[in-house]
Amino acid sequence: MPVTNKSLGNFSFNLFATLSGLLTILLWSSLAIMTTFVASIPRFELLWFGFGLSFVIGTLILVLTGRLNEMKQPLKPWITGFSGIFFFHLFYFLGLALAPPAQVTLMSYLWPTMLVVCSAFLSKRQFHIAYLIGVLMGLAGTVFLMYGGKNTVITPWVLLGYFLGFLCAIVWTIYSLVNRKYVNVPAGMLIGVCGGISLVAMLIHFSIEPTVIPSLKEMIILIYMGCGPMGIAFLAWDYASKNANMSLLGSLAYLAPLLSMVWLVVAGKAPATFGLGMAVILIVGGAIVATYPLKHVKE
């Protein structure tokens, strides 16, 4: 088959989309470790600054690309986007403040398995044993998270942190399911959602929290978080999910929890224990097993 300019163009187009997806995964995998470096910043102040910066940068991008009108969308997708993104990050940041970051992060990554199983039941797809195996592996992974570490001390506050991580998974699953109704809504709307989240977080922050002036190091990290995992990542993922090879993108997505654990262990924020390793294998493996029927059907 001869190589044409069109085929080369499609290859470059798909390659860029795949690289955009990989960039998003790298950015999201760094959220846990970066949050541990700004632990002194109150949670709502963190949401206010991070999403405020992502709103400013994102709006600038929309203006420069002539896409500012993408923010003008119906109320329902706005509510869906706000609820999903706001509560996921709120529960995640609160969980990281109460429990070990590795455990909270892996709890939050139960969402792929939840999403596959819930999608199967809601669409009345034929039951597959892989769904049950995936769920059981995920549950086993949570047991290793809670009791498989060295000198693991379970207190009510730590349990609450775990529960908040679990709530992250539930919130993102529900958000992903509901958001399917708005597949034609452009990603630019999410920039406006970031602005709304920042505004609400700011009002709550000044009502119940003290304001902490970040150090230079913390300010640099906050700028990175606002520009990266809490900002550009949303636009990059939207572009990738619409233009890249979804099978490849889905496989790359499993790198996120693995890389997140690597960053935490390397930075000394999480111990490299047998329990943590087994939790990673079981939770990520459970998600892979649960998605097998979908790939089989597509093939």
List Cβ<8 Å contacts ≥24 apart for 112-115: 112/253, 112/287, 112/290, 112/291, 113/137, 113/138, 113/283, 113/286, 113/287, 113/290, 114/169, 114/170, 114/173, 115/172, 115/173, 115/176, 115/177
pTM of the model: 0.83
Average pLDDT on 79-106 reads: 92
Residue 127 C-beta-side C-alpha neighbours within 13 Å: 3
Residue spans of the domains in the chain: they are 5-298
Q: Say if residue 296's pLDDT is above 60.
A: no
pLDDT, residue 281, reads: 86
Distance CA 199, CA 30 (A): 24
Q: What is the pLDDT of residues 34-67, one digit of tens each?
A: 999 999 999 999 999 999 999 999 999 899 999 9
* 62 CB-near residues (< 8 Å, 6+ apart): 68, 70, 71, 188, 191
Q: What is the pLDDT of residues 1-13, one digit of tens each?
A: 344 444 444 545 5
Distance CA 268, CA 292 (A): 34
Average pLDDT on 180-196 reads: 88
Average pLDDT on 242-258 reads: 72
* 219 CB-near residues (< 8 Å, 6+ apart): none
Average pLDDT on 183-201 reads: 91
Rounded (5°) CA angle 185-190-194 = 160
